[in-house]
Each structure stands twice: as structure tokens, then as C-alpha cells.
Amino acid sequence: MSLEFKPAWLFVPGDRPDRYTKAAERSDIVILDLEDAVNEADKVAARESIVDFPLDPTRTVVRVNSHDSGHLGEDLKMLARTEYTAVMLPKAELASDVSILSGFQVIALIETALGAVNVAEIAAAPNVYALMWGSEDLIADLGGGSSRKADGGYREVAKHVRSQTLLAARAHRKFALDSIWADIPNLEGLAAEAEDAVQSGFSGKVSIHPNHVPVVRDAFRPSDEQLTWARSMLDLAKTEKGAFSFEGKMIDAPLLKHAELIVARAN
């Protein structure tokens, strides 16, 4: 069964099956994490938990371990025992990294310098479903100390990779996921970043805490005023030819596309 895209994604450690159901209830899509959230000694138990406590495969992604971790083979054997068809591949660096996951919908995680350089090639891979970028792993790979400045904003190199990931995904008609917000209690900062993600063109945003999910949902959900404007404009467009005037503004193809996207976010 294929993954059905929705905007609010939530990580849950693969070795914490006690959290699976609650995560599924509180988010649009759950990411069962076998990589960073699970210690080396607990990866076997995490795989068994994923098999023993199944979730809806249309709303679940499994983040496997990276291609050079020594764990990916066992992760794939485990997935063969489940109905899951969507996987997140960390540290994707080449299109060939994705090709070994034939038969899966792949969310390629761009979080290294090489992955950032090759992001368009990765996005073009046929089985890539979406791209996500990872800020802190990226900075660690570059040899830096933090992806953010003292004011909370991203450093220039992080903003560059964020933009490149979005551009590559959209150029190849793939979904684009924004990185996590790590400052868990700062919901105001999260709301501002999620709003920027929406207006920039990201399809969704990934969270590491359940309290972040409603904030992300609010950002991606159009207001009643936006929805009324978009639907009214699209209804009028059915009877007009070429550009036309609506509420004092000249409406052309880009604005119609914007209206279509607003309506799509409401569904």
C-alpha cells in the first residue's frame, strides 16, 4: 500500500513500541526510526518491535540505517516481513544509494556535503517519493559547530542546502520536507519557521515532539479567508478566458496555481 502524503510528520524511536500508537494518533505520518534514535545495542529489538506492532502502512515510514552503516541489510530483511512500502534513507549521497531500495517509496534525507552537491541527481531517481534535508548532520559533516546563529536563524550554508533541496524536489515533481525544529519548548519559533516553509513551497515539516504537530498543522492549513478567496477565484476562472480581474486584482496563471495549492492544502 502506498504512502498517502500529509504535511505533519513525527519521528518515534523504533525501540519504543509503547509510543507507536500515540504517535500515529497525534500526527499525519509516523516515522519509525531505526537510525539516530536507536542505540547500536538496541537495533535488533527495534526491528522486532516494528514487525510486532504494525501501524497503517499508508501513514507510516521507516527510517532505515544509512547505506554504509552495516545495518541496512538487516533493516531490509525486517521490512520484507511487514507491509511498509515507504522508507527514509539517511545520508543519501548518490542516486545509486536510492536504487538499492527498489520497490520502496524513498524519502531521501540530504544531510551531507556530497548529498547536497548531488541533490538534483538524487531527486531524479524514479523511486524517490520526497526529499528532506537535515541541518545538524549537515553541519557536522562540514566540520562546523551549529546550523543556527545566536538569533535562531540558520547559517548561510544551511539555508543554501535547504533551498537546494526544495528546488531539486520541486524540479522533479517530488514532495519536499523541511527539517526538524530542535528547540522543543519554543513553539513560537517553530510556528514562524513552519509558516516560512509553507510560503517557500515545502510540502510538509518533520517534528521530533508531539507538541510540534499541531503547530505544523496550523501553518499548513489555509485560513477560512484564504480558502474562500481561492475557491471563489477558481470558480470564476471556469467562465473566464485568459487573465481576468478579481477583487480589484488582475488574475493570471501564477495566481491561479497559488489558489489551487491553497485548496489542495485544505484537503
For the annotated binding site for substrate, the residues are 63, 111
d(Cα 114, Cα 141) in Å, to the nearest integer? 9
d(Cα 221, Cα 195) in Å, to the nearest integer? 10
Give the closest residue to 126 by CA, choosing from 150, 140, 106: 106
d(Cα 213, Cα 267) in Å, to the nearest integer? 17
d(Cα 223, Cα 218) in Å, to the nearest integer? 9
d(Cα 232, Cα 239) in Å, to the nearest integer? 12
CA triple 161-165-169, angle to 5 deg: 170
One DSSP character per residue, 244-266 reads: EEETTEEE-HHHHHHHHHHHHHH
d(Cα 134, Cα 110) in Å, to the nearest integer? 6
Q: How many helices (H) and strands (E) does the chain have?
A: 12, 10
Give me the amino acid identity at 34.
L
List residues forming the annotated binding site.
Answer: 63, 111, 137
Give me the amino acid identity at 203.
S
List residues forming the annotated binding site for Mg(2+).
Answer: 111, 137
Residue 240 CB coordination number (10 Å): 12
CA triple 139-145-147, angle to 5 deg: 50
Q: Report which secondary-structure segment, H or E, holds 205.
A: strand 204-207
